[in-house]
Amino acid sequence: MIRCSKCQYINPTKCSPIKQICFVHSKCNRKKPKSKIISVPEVNKFIVECLRKLNVKDDKACILAKSLVKADYQGILSHGLNRLEHYIIDIKNKNCNPNADPKIISESASAAAVCGNNGLGAVIGVFCINIAIEKACKTGIAMVVAIGSNHFGVNSFYTEHAVSQGCIGMAFTNTSPLMVPTGAKKACFGTNPMSIAAPAGRCDRVVIDFATTSVSLGKIEMYRRRNQKIPIGWALDKHGKPTTDPAVAVKARRLSPLGGTASHKGTGLAIMVEILSGLLANSTYGPNVRVWGQKPFKPANLGHGFIVINPRRFISGFEKRLGDLLEHVRKLEPADPKRPMLVPGDMERARMKKVDEQGGIEYTNSHLKMIQRLVQDLGVKPPKFKS
């Protein structure tokens, strides 16, 4: 028997599990759920264990886990653990063959085309960027495209890998149609993200990674999780009108191109990415790409493109010149003294430092609910929370 501490109302079915407050008094007494911190190794272990339950081989599970955790580690929570359920749905519905191995279908000294065989996007992406790095180290520049792939996470996961080998990396991918081209009412292109990263010496680097829409759908999903309104200009409703309701935006799946009043530039960039990924690879492209997570389920057949440049094959001193440029930008007088100047990649490194200092990644209550769903559904042990 449970009594409400406020009015002594006796009815367990109508009592909140929080401090035994009845439904009448629960609203005013319920505290906002707190987020929890999970260490990077614990998150990685949890993701791998979930994938093992679906019979995903360890080598492939570890690559996918590494890509998701890296996103969260950098503060890109829309593309980390937040995406795990989507991958699991694809695997359960046999839209994706998680144990497939990508294969080279054609190549030359500085180019290659890869068939992903409908495998995990992260596995295919790592396979492709490694080929591009190997070829670029020999020839100076190389490009690899992939067909038959799936969602591969954040582009910078691959471009930063190129930087770790002393190279400049570029990555492009097409995605499910979400962008409404300038002047239209319906979506035609995906968010079609792109990234470039380059080494700047003394452990410095620049990492640019952005969608060709105003924001990614994942970021809007995070606003919905937090029950916050989105800024005007991010998305449209089903009638093609601007909306600030994240739930409406997610349901309508109509994002605005990058550029605001100059959104034709975002539309142009989306087409550029399509050329360097879907079209060059002969994968599904534009409005023909399936909508991720919606029925009828079918393979995505996404296309990716990777370009790697070996600066050592050009004029010497590239890293020093880039380092000088980045430092110049950082030292510029900021318009707002409270907001020091940053270059692309600085914010992510600051977030990683914070994660290291607090001993893990801070996940929202929505993330924690998702973890609990996966624990119950797959029969895995939940990750340990930092006390």
DSSP state, residue 87: H
Strands of 257-356, DSSP E: 302-309
The per-residue pLDDT for 295 is 67
**pLDDT tens digits in sequence order for the chain, 387 residues long:** 344 444 433 333 333 443 444 333 444 444 555 789 999 999 999 999 999 999 999 999 999 999 999 999 999 998 999 999 999 999 999 999 999 999 999 999 999 999 999 999 999 999 999 999 999 999 999 999 999 999 999 999 999 999 999 999 999 999 999 999 998 989 999 999 999 999 998 889 999 999 999 998 888 988 988 889 999 999 999 988 999 999 999 999 999 999 987 899 999 999 999 999 999 999 999 999 988 766 667 889 999 999 999 999 999 999 999 999 999 999 999 999 999 999 999 999 999 999 999 999 999 898 999 999 999 999 999 999 986
Burial class (CB in 10 A: 0-12, 13-18, 19+), 135: buried
* CB contact set of 319 (below 8 Å; sequence gap of 6+): 199, 200, 201, 311
254 vs 68, 201, 257, CA distance in Å?
Answer: 25, 41, 10
Give residue 64's identity as a one-letter amino acid code: L
Please report the domains of the chain, with CATH numbers, ordered by start residue.
Answer: 1-31 (no CATH), 36-92+360-378 (1.10.1530.10), 103-214+255-313 (3.30.1370.60)
Residues 6+ apart with CB under 8 A from 41: none
Q: Residue 114's beta-bridge partner residues?
A: 104, 146
CA neighbor of 275 nearest in space, from 172, 373, 155: 172
Q: Distance (Å, rounded) from C-alpha 348 to C-alpha 120?
A: 25
The dihedral formed by the CA atoms of 151, 152, 156 and 159, expressed in degrees to the nearest 10: -130
Q: Are strands 141-149 and 103-107 parallel, antiparallel or unpaired?
A: unpaired
Q: H or E stretch including 272?
A: helix 264-274
Say if CB 143 and CB 111 are below 8 A apart.
yes
Q: Which two tokens stand for residue 122?
A: 């992260």
CB contact at 8 A, 172 and 273: yes
Strands 141-149 and 111-115: parallel
Residue 83: DSSP 8-state: G
